């Protein structure tokens, strides 16, 4: 059944590519493909940071944006109008592989149709499932991506870096932090009047805490502190309300909220990252995949106001919160860690 659904989706993508409405003009220095339209603020922060990175780190001023729902249908117009010197970027995050296969399909179409252009995948985590279906999808991606030797893959943590090198030996692979870690808002929030604890905890399949632990933690926290229960998603009722134009507004609301608190408790990757960039002490709990642990251990383990707990209990969580309430955060600049990406963007396109 899954194979049939996959075939149907490939047919739909081909149909959209041939007959979809096409408006791309190819007038920018760069284009970012598959920017998010949903209310996950982690993804929206990635898109915001990608645009900021191109302007501030590599002086690419004129950036075009292609939202995920129009990506396939616009690629034919792109093939016709894009200039060979225009840089093509793919939105970063955690959708490289079979976990969110629609984004993998977008990349395949773009890479196969726009092979003359330099293409760079913004920092990603990779996940091709260990199954017959997963191996088939990996084989498809490998065949297409290997045709463009100037399609550069960027991993955002070491495990993904090693997997990308193993799975895509014909493509250059580099390692940098998640692109949101290139932002620094600490001066903006220095001296904030902070109060209480804010939680951003998962309640889905990626959650490592069981239901009993989760409920006990919330009860203990509310007994001891003023607690704000929040999330990195704006809610389904606003899920399609974020655009390129208003994205920063929604992000600043969340960053302001975080920076009003003494400590954040989270098991979300961008809950941790938002705390880091706003200079907010944060207790981080392991979840059921490697993204948050790998990001902490490789990039943030020396940041004194971020505390990672691999095997969380009510007791060690409360102890960590009490410790961090006393700390004066010391920001560690990670901008030099993005040098491989800067060099990749500025480097010569071997496909010219």
The full 3-state SS of the chain, as one line of letters, equals CHHHHHHHHHHHHHHHHHHCCCCCCCCCCEEEEEECCCCEHHHHHHHHHHHHHHHHHHCCCCEEEEEHHHHHHHHHHHHHHCCCCCEEEECCEEEEECCCHHHHHHHHHHHHHCCCCCEEECCEEEECCCCHHHHHHHHHHHHHHCCCCCEEEEECCHHHHHHHHHHCCCCCEEECCCHHHHCCCHHHHCCCCCCCEEEECCCCCCCCCCHHHHHHHHHHHHHHCCEEECCCECCHHHCCCCCCCCHHHHHHHHHHHHCCCCEEEECCHHHHHHHHHHCCCEEEECCCCCHHHHHHHHHHCCCCCEEEECCCCHHHHHHHHHHHHCCCCCCCCCHHHHHHHHHHHHCCCCCC
- What is the tens place of the pLDDT at every residue in 140-187? 999 999 998 889 999 999 999 999 999 999 999 999 999 999 999 999
Band (pLDDT 50/70/90 cuts) for residue 10 is very low
The distance from CA 95 to its chain's CA centroid, rounded to whole angstroms, is: 8
CA distance 211 to 203: 9
pLDDT surpasses 80 at 241: no
pLDDT surpasses 50 at 138: yes
Band (pLDDT 50/70/90 cuts) for residue 204 is low
Q: What is the pTM assigned to this prediction?
A: 0.90
Which of 69, 64, 77, 139 lies closest to 108, judged by CA?
Answer: 139
CA distance 230 to 49: 22
CA distance 268 to 285: 8
Band (pLDDT 50/70/90 cuts) for residue 47 is very high
Least confident of 294-303, 311-320, 331-340: 311-320
* Mean pLDDT of all residues belonging to the chain: 88
Band (pLDDT 50/70/90 cuts) for residue 25 is very low
Least confident of 82-96, 160-174, 199-213, 261-275: 199-213
């Amino acid at each position: 059944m899954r194979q049939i659904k996959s075939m149907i989706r490939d047919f739909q993508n081909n149909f959209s590519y041939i007959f979809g409405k096409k408006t791309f003009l190819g007038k920018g220095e760069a284009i970012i493909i598959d920017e998010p339209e949903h209310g996950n603020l982690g993804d929206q922060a990635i898109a915001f940071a990608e645009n900021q990175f191109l302007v501030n780190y590599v002086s690419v001023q004129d950036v075009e944006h292609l939202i995920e729902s129009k990506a396939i249908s616009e690629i034919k117009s792109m093939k016709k109008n894009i200039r060979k010197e225009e840089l093509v970027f793919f939105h970063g995050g955690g959708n490289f592989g079979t976990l969110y296969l629609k984004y993998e399909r977008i990349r395949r179409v773009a890479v196969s149709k726009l092979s003359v252009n330099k293409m760079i995948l913004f920092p990603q985590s990779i996940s091709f499932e260990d199954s017959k279906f997963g191996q088939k999808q990996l084989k498809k991606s490998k065949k297409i991506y290997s045709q463009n030797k100037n399609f550069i893959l960027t991993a955002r943590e070491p495990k993904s870096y090693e997997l990308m090198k193993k799975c895509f030996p014909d493509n250059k692979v580099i390692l940098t932090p998640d692109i949101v870690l290139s932002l620094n808002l600490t001066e903006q929030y220095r001296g904030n009047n902070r109060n209480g604890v804010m939680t951003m905890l998962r309640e889905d399949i990626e959650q490592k805490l069981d239901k009993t632990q989760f409920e006990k933690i919330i009860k203990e926290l509310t007994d001891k502190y003023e607690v704000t229960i929040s999330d990195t998603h704006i809610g389904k009722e606003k899920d399609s309300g974020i655009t390129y134009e208003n994205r920063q507004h929604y992000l600043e609301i969340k960053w302001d909220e975080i920076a009003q608190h003494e400590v954040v408790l989270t098991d979300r990757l961008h809950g941790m990252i938002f705390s880091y960039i706003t200079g907010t002490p944060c207790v981080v709990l392991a979840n059921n995949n490697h993204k948050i642990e790998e990001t902490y251990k490789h990039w943030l383990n020396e940041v004194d106001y971020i505390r990672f707990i691999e095997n969380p209990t009510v007791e060690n969580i409360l102890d960590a919160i009490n410790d961090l309430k006393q700390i004066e955060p010391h920001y560690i600049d990670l901008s030099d860690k993005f040098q491989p990406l800067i060099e990749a963007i500025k480097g010569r396109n071997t496909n010219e």
